[in-house]
Amino acid sequence: MTDLRSEIKNIIAALVHREPLIGIFLKRTWIYESNEYPMPAWTDGLRIYVNPPIFLNLSKPERTSVLAHEALHIFELHIPRSKALGVPRAIANIAADAKVNQHLSESKMQIPKNAVTLRTVSSMTGVSESELAKMSFEEIARLLARNCSGSKQGSGTGYSSNHSRGPGDGANLEEAAGDLVETSRGKGNILNEGDAGDENANSDEIANRAAKKAVETYTIAKTAGTVPGWAERVIDEILKPKVDWRRLLRSALEKGLGKKVRRSWMRPSRKGEPFPGKELLNMSTVVVAVDTSGSIGILELRRFLSEIYGICKESARVVVIPWDATAYDPIVISRASDVKKIKLRGGGGTCFYPVVCMLEKMSYSQLVILSDWEIADLDSAEVIGYLKKNAGRIIAVTTYGTPPVFLRTVRIDRW
């Protein structure tokens, strides 16, 4: 009889070598024995549970695929994202399985027969696999919800929901909620010890802990070498802007956004008298001062870039000023997609006065300060004076410390 704990360890070791991102993530994940559900494995969004007799009845490639499948459900935050969507759990599970199996296929891993794939979703919705491949988990779930709304959630269709059920089970959509469970009572023997703190984390902590681990694992794998293209897309989804910049930047948006040019009879057209000419309008400018000092980690910088991307999507003109103990050359962003090309300089101490000197020579509608707000000269007369004078057009975004009380403040996670 195969020793289950040794088998799990061997699978993880093989994946660390073959698919480092998945292997490292699994190595950091708590895995337990459980016979609570009649399927090989399932997840509560942070931990994995394995049913020994069913799991060991699978072939070795299928065992590897099952563990990788559950790991990606956690990595892609499918349970908290499902809750936010509000679609039936069976629908969410099909969308989640389709995306996970898409990513496993892209990594050249074996997908058992009867697994839910993009082809399954295509046959249910009429949307091509190539189009589905470009969609996010949320987009596929909403698409399924629209197409299945009149069929009692698709009960009785015969679609297999979950490759973890093993070949040939043929579950219907009502059973499709299988491997995504909000809680599991069946903690048995420990098969793999994961991150400290994850073992007894409650349901309110799952999303933050899973997201933090996903981003950290991605960063480790990226540093060690290449990561799959799908992982980059998933991290972008996880790190999408958390701040409602449309609301916060409304005053800046009211001037100039979408109105770079207007027709005016005061400036005749070169085409002739019957046509009005063009008049260029002043564009609203949002300055983003982004802290790149040594106290800002890689995850925080990536979070800051994500928020800058969100600002660029809502603003007419964005100027980024990287700073640590020095204010570096401003970077003008003309398109939101250019944010990914930004190379941020820094790594030194943290002083804001050089930024103040630069800002005093600039014209802008709104100033966003992205920082951990551990700033050495924050109490200096020059810095406090500038912040008070311009408080009405400053938004202070912090991942740790507390900005001055007179500033409009937004707190975000540093992962």
| Chosen domain end from 216, 238, 260 | 238
Tell me: pLDDT of 278 over 70: no
**Least confidently predicted of 145-149, 263-267, 337-341, 364-368:** 263-267
210 lies in the same domain as 323: no
Q: What is the pLDDT of residue 258?
A: 42
Mean pLDDT over 236-253 rounds to: 69
Q: What is the pLDDT of residue 58?
A: 92
Q: What is the pLDDT of residue 251?
A: 55
Convert 255-285 into a string of H (helix), E (strand) and C (coil). Answer: CCCCCCEEEEEEEECCCCCCCEEEEECCCCE
**Which amino acid, 326?**
T
307 lies in the same domain as 221: no
Q: Which domain holds residue 137?
A: 4-238
Mean pLDDT over 22-44 rounds to: 95
Q: What is the pLDDT of residue 192?
A: 96
278 lies in the same domain as 315: yes
Q: What is the pLDDT of residue 74?
A: 96
201 lies in the same domain as 340: no
Q: How confident is the model at residue 92 (pLDDT cuts 50, 70, 90)?
A: very high
227 lies in the same domain as 368: no
Q: What is the pLDDT of residue 318?
A: 92
Which region, left, alpha or beta, applies to residue 59 given φ > 0 means left and ψ of -120 to 50 means alpha?
A: beta
**125 within 8 A of 144, measured Cβ to Cβ:** yes
Give the HSE-up count for residue 211: Cα atoms under 13 Å, Cβ half-sphere: 20
**178 within 8 A of 160, measured Cβ to Cβ:** no
Structural domains counted in the chain: 2
Strand partners, 323: 291, 327
233 lies in the same domain as 90: yes
Q: With CA atoms as reference, report the closest residue to 73 among 147, 197, 155, 182.
A: 182
Predicted TM-score of the model (pTM)? 0.67
262 lies in the same domain as 335: yes
262 lies in the same domain as 193: no
Q: What is the pLDDT of residue 274?
A: 54
| Chosen domain end from 238, 257, 276 | 238
Q: CATH code at 340?
A: 3.40.50
If one compares 391 and 347, the residue with the highest pLDDT of the two is 391
Distance CA 232, CA 229 (A): 5
214 lies in the same domain as 262: no
308 lies in the same domain as 190: no
| Chosen domain end from 176, 203, 238 | 238
pLDDT in tens, 215-242: 889 888 888 777 888 998 888 777 677 7
Mean pLDDT over 21-48 rounds to: 95
386 lies in the same domain as 337: yes
Tell me: pLDDT of 157 over 50: no
204 lies in the same domain as 256: no
